[in-house]
Amino acid sequence: MFNVEKAAIEKLSTKEAVIGIVGLGYVGLPLMLRYNAVAFRVLGFDIDRQKVENLNAGHSYIEHIPSKAIAEARESGFKATTDFSRIAEVDAIILCVPTPLNKYREPDMSFVINTVNAIKPYLREGQVVSLESTTYPGTTEEELLPRVQQDGLVVGENIFLVYSPEREDPGNPNFETRTIPKVIGGHTPACREVGIALYSPAIDQVVPVSSTKAAEMTKLLENIHRAVNIGLVNEMKIVADRMGIDIFEVVDAAATKPFGFTPYYPGPGLGGHCIPIDPFYLTWKAREYGLHTRFIELSGEINRAMPEYVVSKLMDGLNDHGKALKGSRVLVLGIAYKKNVDDMRESPAVEIMELIEAKGAEVAYSDPHVPVFPKMREHHFELASVALTAESLASFDVVVLATDHDRFDFDLIKHHARLIVDSRGIYREPADHIIKA
């Protein structure tokens, strides 16, 4: 009898398999490049026709991924398409689609569900389907499993289903797709073995776990760990400020302890596609079990309040200098969610801009990684990045340091800005025109 599991593993191990990656963004694109680099044929899928056209022309639309890398991938066989019927051509389907929150801060699974519905008519025997999108425990079993099996395929026997959470960290020079260990959970033991065969050729270390639920919970724990600790240090920042203590000095000093302490630094709020969102996936799912995750929700409340705290410090600083926020010209420095990237997903800087504008101020921004304010699902400004010069800095009533890109000239900013609201602890020495927020 033909063994579908062994055939799938053999095809992946010998790199004869074709890899299909659905969603060609910050997660899918690095994964495509990695599989391409180890001599797999890769077919990329996306609903965004402009993205597909750019990739097929050899152009990148993500700052830290050079167009040269895309062009080289194209030359060695990579192709992008919007035609989901071509799912039938691939042996592995890796789903890298967004999982945002809706306006009620509940999981928005529409991207995952719509994608699975789009690929479902073209699934065939011998394929492996892997979900990488961060989600609540049970998603793979509840949403993917019934859809994959709807037309007679049997997961674990003639098609394989795994969950393997993405761990990309854009802009981090110390890690890349290959060197970040990959957690994998399969719906059945056979699924897990095929999943291991899928990722082992491309990733240095594969970490199998007992189930898709365990893998889903692993990703949430990683990000909730960070969200809770950042919430703690953000709350301590407010207390320390009221007491006249520099929280950044305190964290640096505590970090000298060689055991039992991990340094987390405060900021203007949480950003990115994971930490502001993932904890709420678990709090939402926990309610199904009659549980109230108070600790997680409290940290979420603290972190979500930080943009308003920054604006309150801005208003206090202007008042101390005899000005109102209304009618003032405000320059926000850095609108990406973290330093040295162009990723603006869930960026607290954007919320700060909206709060400032709502209070009647004229807002502008400067970000060397974001030359023009992009179209976003929920936010939009018709603005372009302001070049930082002595003259431009002096023309604003106040600058708000929201994201501490290395490409900023912090000495230039310090010497020519009239008033600085520093939410990142860049300026440690006290000065009359610097407000720590």
| Dihedral (Cα; 53, 54, 57, 63), 10-degree rounding | -170
**Distances from the Cα of 341 to the Cα of 96, 169, 278, 374, 420, angstroms:** 20, 10, 21, 14, 22
- Tokens for 289, please give them: 């079990």
Distinct helix (H) and strand (E) counts, the chain:
16, 13
Give me the DSSP letters along 318-329. HHHTT--STT-E
How wide is the angle at C-alpha 88 spanned by C-alphas 213 and 208, nearest 5°?
A: 25
How wide is the angle at C-alpha 135 spanned by C-alphas 134 and 138, nearest 5°?
A: 135
- Tokens for 58, please give them: 């050899």
- Tokens for 350, please give them: 């954007």
Q: Is the dihedral of CA 342, 81, 163, 204 positive or negative?
A: negative
Neighbour tally for 89: CB within 10 Å: 14
Are 63 and 101 a contacting pair, CB within 8 Å? no
φ, ψ for residue 197, nearest 5 deg: -65, -30
**Distances from the Cα of 223 to the Cα of 216, 241, 278, 351, angstroms:** 11, 27, 7, 21
Hunting for tokens 């000005």 — which residue is that? 323
Are 133 and 168 a contacting pair, CB within 8 Å? no
Catalytic residue numbers? 274
Q: Are strands 420-422 and 434-436 parallel, antiparallel or unpaired?
A: parallel
Q: Provide the 3-class DSSP secondary structure of residue 434.
A: strand
Neighbour tally for 157: CB within 10 Å: 13
**Beta strands across the sheet bearing 362-366:** 362-366, 329-333, 398-401, 420-422, 434-436
Q: Are strands 329-333 and 398-401 parallel, antiparallel or unpaired?
A: parallel
What amino acid occupies position 310? V
